[in-house]
Amino acid sequence: MTHSTPAGACDCHVHVYDASHPLAPSATFKPPHAPWSAYQSVQRALGLSRVVLVQPTGYGLDNRVLLDALAQAGAAARGVVALAQDVGEAELQQLHAQGVRGVRFMMLAGAGGVLPWDALPGMAARIAPLGWHINLQLDGRELPQRRALIDALPCAVVIDHTGKFLEPVPVGDPAFRTLLALLERPQRWVKLSAPYETSKVGPPGYDDVALLAKALLRAHPERCLWASNWPHPNRVPVPSDAAMLALLDAWTDGEPAVRERVLARNPAALYGF
């Protein structure tokens, strides 16, 4: 049974798409029409009051759809964009005023990411004075070889989708232990989200990913965030948003204080709500 959603609950990873807006040449699939107005219905149904809009890979460096949705959503939303390496200071300041708080790095091969690994340190240095974060998606099995780079970044870092281990690993695996170690540092976070993208067991419990989510919550509840990953692009069948939120109950053993921390207090601290 899903418990009541705490005040200030935030969905930390949502994409918006406008079917009339052209996709980037780097797009790897045709997304659904999923405007801000459609997500509002999901938000109301789940009892969520805050949201983080994340730039889809399908639009490359063109953030216009996201920024339009951000303007509609107002103060209860934040944005994570994709930016050229030579973005100007004036543009960064304007984006900050519009509610942007992070830059996305999608590092999975063939997933349409537009920023390379070697752009990461420079971008992190540029955005650190603004209090922004790097939103990083990679195959979690690469974390040991990327740890020194991530440790050295001067801004907050958010790791997507429970580490996004493309082959779910045991909790004792060196790669997962690296994720736990990363979270021991200040301003390192992980999203508990999209278990369907990596689970080999599948619904309803995604038990192989659930083991990792539970271990992260036991070790670092103060570093965990939750997200729906709406509209679950390129997934057939489309997962239930209510089921995704209900999974958090199982992962937290229904502990209201832990759910409140993950859904409300942690995102308020990171995104500046």
Q: Three-state secondary structure along the chain?
A: CCCCCCCCCEEEEECCECCCCCCCCCCCCCCCCECHHHHHHHHHHHCCCEEEEECCHHHCCCCHHHHHHHHHHHHHEEEEECCCCCCCHHHHHHHHHCCEEEEEEECCCCCCCCCCHHHHHHHHHHHHHHCCEEEEECCHHHHHHHHHHHHHCCCEEEECHHHCCCCCCCCCCHHHHHHHHHCCCCCEEEEECCHHHCCCCCCCCCHHHHHHHHHHHHHCHHHEEECCCCCCCCCCCCCCHHHHHHHHHHHCCCCHHHHHHHHHHHHHHHHCC
The pTM score is 0.95
Helices 207-219 and 241-251 pack at an angle, to 10 degrees, of 50
In 3D, which of 111, 129, 96, 8 has the Cα closest to residue 58? 111
Q: What percent of the chain has pLDDT over 70?
A: 99
pLDDT above 60 (res 175)? yes
CA dist 23 and 43 (Å) reads 26
39 CB neighbour count, 10 Å cutoff: 23
Distance CA(9)–CA(265), nearest Å, equals: 8
Query: Tens of pLDDT along 136-172?
Result: 999 999 999 999 999 999 999 999 999 999 999 999 9
pLDDT band at 3 (very low <50, low <70, confident <90, very high): low
Does pLDDT of 32 surpass 80? yes
Confidence band for 1, pLDDT divided at 50, 70 and 90: very low
Return the minimum-mean-pLDDT range out of 15-19, 69-73, 113-117, 165-169. Answer: 113-117
**Distance in Å from the first CA to the final CA of the chain:** 28
The pLDDT value recorded for residue 114 is 81
Mean pLDDT of 160-188: 97
CATH number of 10-136+155-271: 3.20.20.140
For the cut 50, the answer to whether the pLDDT of residue 232 exceeds it is: yes
> Average pLDDT, whole number, for the chain?
95
What are the structural domain ranges in the chain?
10-136+155-271
The confidence band for 24, taking pLDDT boundaries of 50, 70 and 90, is confident
pLDDT tens for each residue of 51-79: 999 999 999 999 999 999 999 999 999 99
Report d(CA 100, CA 52) in Å as an integer.
9
